[in-house]
Amino acid sequence: MAKQDYFPTKIDAQDTWFATWLANIAAAIVSLILPPTYADAVKTKINDTRAKFTDMKNARAQYLSKSSAYKLSLKDTMLALRPMNQNIKTTPGYTDTIGNTIGIEGPDSSFDPTTAKPAGEAIYEGGQVTIEFTKPFEVKQVHIKSKRGAETVFTDLANDTNSPYNDNRENLDPSKPEKREYTLQYMNKDNQLIGQLSDTVSIVVA
């Protein structure tokens, strides 16, 4: 029975495969008594693909770095901005018109801490899972639980004050795709869980 052609499906393994092919094709050509230039056109294409692979990995690392830096900066800014906005609203002479002008007057609150339920979405990009979630002003943070791979129960993953949350954990088995599931629930200013548990959010990590 003839063997099928082999080419790996994982991106990192593909680059390793290309490197192996390039390192050994010259000797194979000699053994097969083929012209020395036989593989030149393919070599050019492989080198171009490997260069783009390197660019992609660099861009991914830069994305993760800048995403984390933005998120830390956002949290730090909001810690300073929210108390200032609250103080502005207590200043004599403050009006809704002034608040609307600088964008600090939100809609009337209909938040019910007994029924409030987060909505979440999982996105796989840049080599990590990004969890986007809703969080009303009245909520301090969102509690996230996770279950992945062969795990049978949800365990605590993180508390986050601002969407999105980046889950950059490696797969339990790096050689296999992994299903991850998440649930979210709101927490009040006393760090107590309130409201309803979110619907389960699922994604497969390659």
Q: Is the dihedral of CA 32, 37, 40, 43 positive or negative?
A: positive
Residues 161 and 98 in one domain: no
The C-alpha angle with vertex 23 and arms to 17 and 27, in degrees rounded to 5, equals: 125
Residues 12 and 101 in one domain: yes
Q: What is residue 1's predicted lDDT score, i.e. its pLDDT?
A: 65
The candidate with the shortest Cα–Cα distance to 53, out of 93, 82, 91, 10, is: 10
Q: Which domain holds residue 42?
A: 8-105
The whole-angstrom separation of Cα 54 and Cα 56 is 5
Domain presence at residue 33: yes
The candidate with the shortest Cα–Cα distance to 143, out of 154, 129, 152, is: 154
What CATH number corresponds to the domain at position 133?
A: 2.60.40.10
What is the DSSP code (8-state) at residue 64? H
Residue with tokens 């390197």: 54
Residues 54 and 90 in one domain: yes
Residues 137 and 192 in one domain: yes
Q: What is residue 2's predicted lDDT score, i.e. its pLDDT?
A: 62
The whole-angstrom separation of Cα 171 and Cα 90 is 50
Q: What is the pLDDT along the chain (206 residues), one digit of tens a residue?
A: 667 788 888 888 899 999 999 999 999 999 999 999 999 999 999 999 999 999 998 998 888 888 888 888 988 998 899 899 989 999 999 999 999 999 988 777 678 889 999 999 998 876 789 899 988 878 889 999 999 988 999 999 999 988 889 898 888 888 888 999 999 999 988 889 999 999 999 999 88
Q: What is residue 94's predicted lDDT score, i.e. its pLDDT?
A: 94
The C-alpha angle with vertex 133 and arms to 65 and 76, in degrees rounded to 5, equals: 50
- The C-alpha torsion from 144 through 63 and 13 to 18, rounded to 10°, is 170
